[in-house]
């Protein structure tokens, strides 16, 4: 069983987030679902919920998120949140996680962590409103050790390929304080100041890509709100991240 550095995480994060708590649950349907239920019920204290096992883990676009117990890190962070503009938030979160964990981690717009065209992890951001105040739930799943590729549309990568001694607990301890700082900066300043750093890790930039809804073109990077810049025969188009999947087109 994983030994979680819950105390160390709490010590590093609570000065940034007063009232912060850390919870580790052996099993839950989904850490995002649980924190969304709590937020809707008016429980809005900043909470990190680590799930050792998820029985109904969720990804973007209604997809399931499967993870093997002990081989992955699955957690969600909930906090009261009121940015002026939410656009680009999943890019900011991905950037923060990638920068905290390893220089070799790339970002696949809008919310995947990639290593050499394989998927290391994903991000699911949801928002709830309770009593007129908004709450964000940031859910992150990262493969720590190699996993089976069965049933996956993109082959999986594992953090131990880059950081051989990595454990889920050490990865969480490393990424949490910068993640909270990133969320707080984003709330004040939005995505634009992060655009150059995102572009440095953008794995789609310059490549031919296609979207789940049939668009094709060359990815030119991201704009100041985090929208994907797609070059097509008739010019450039901006694609918003909300309901789209994008993949490199095999050459």
Segment interacting with ligand BTN, rule: CB under 6 A, options 36-44, 68-76, 97-105, 218-226: 68-76
| DSSP states along 147-206 | ---TT-SS-B--GGGTSTT--HHHHHHHHHHHHHHHHHHHHHH-SGGGHHHHHHHBSSTT
| Contact flag: residue 54 with ligand BTN (CB under 6 A) | yes
| Contact flag: residue 83 with ligand BTN (CB under 6 A) | no
Nearest approach, Cβ of residue 86 and ligand BTN (Å): 17
41 dihedral zone (left: phi>0; alpha: psi -120 to 50; beta): alpha
What angle in degrees, to the nearest 10, is found between the helix axes of 6-13 and 168-189? 20
| Shortest-Cβ-distance residue relative to ligand BTN | 122
| Contact flag: residue 30 with ligand BTN (CB under 6 A) | yes
| Contact flag: residue 58 with ligand BTN (CB under 6 A) | yes
Cβ-proximal residues to 38 (8 Å cutoff; 6+ apart), any chain? 47, 78
Segment interacting with ligand BTN, rule: CB under 6 A, options 37-45, 52-60, 90-98, 143-151: 52-60
Which residues, numbered 112-171, are part of the site for ligand BTN (CB under 6 A)?
Answer: 112, 122-124, 139-141
Cβ-proximal residues to 108 (8 Å cutoff; 6+ apart), any chain? 114, 119, 203, 204, 246
At residue 111, what are phi and psi to the nearest 5 degrees? -150, 25
| Contact flag: residue 47 with ligand BTN (CB under 6 A) | no
| Contact flag: residue 106 with ligand BTN (CB under 6 A) | no
Interface ranges with ligand BTN (CB under 6 A): 30-32, 54, 57-60, 63, 65, 74-76, 112, 122-124, 139-141
């Amino acid at each position: 069983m994983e030994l979680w550095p819950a105390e160390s995480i709490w010590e590093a994060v609570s000065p940034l987030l007063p009232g912060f708590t850390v919870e580790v649950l052996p099993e839950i349907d989904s850490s995002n679902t649980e924190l969304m239920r709590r937020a809707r019920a008016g429980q809005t204290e900043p909470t990190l919920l680590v799930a050792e096992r998820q029985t109904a883990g969720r990804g973007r676009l209604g997809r399931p998120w499967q993870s093997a117990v002990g081989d992955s890190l699955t957690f969600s962070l909930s906090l009261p949140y009121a940015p002026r503009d939410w656009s680009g938030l999943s890019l900011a979160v991905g950037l923060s996680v990638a920068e905290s964990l390893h220089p070799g981690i790339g970002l696949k717009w809008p919310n995947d962590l990639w290593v050499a065209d394989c998927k290391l992890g994903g991000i699911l951001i949801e928002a709830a409103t309770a009593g007129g105040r908004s709450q964000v739930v940031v859910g992150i799943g990262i493969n720590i050790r190699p996993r089976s590729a069965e049933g996956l549309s993109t082959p999986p990568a594992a953090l131990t390929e880059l950081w051989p001694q990595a454990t889920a607990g050490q990865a969480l301890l490393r990424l949490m304080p910068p993640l909270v700082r990133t969320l707080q900066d984003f709330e004040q300043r939005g995505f634009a100041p992060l655009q150059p750093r995102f572009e440095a890790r953008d794995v789609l930039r310059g490549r031919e890509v296609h979207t789940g809804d049939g668009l094709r073109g060359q990815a030119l990077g991201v704009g100041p709100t985090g929208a994907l810049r797609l070059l097509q025969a008739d010019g450039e188009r901006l694609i918003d991240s909300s309901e789209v999947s994008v993949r490199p087109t095999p050459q």
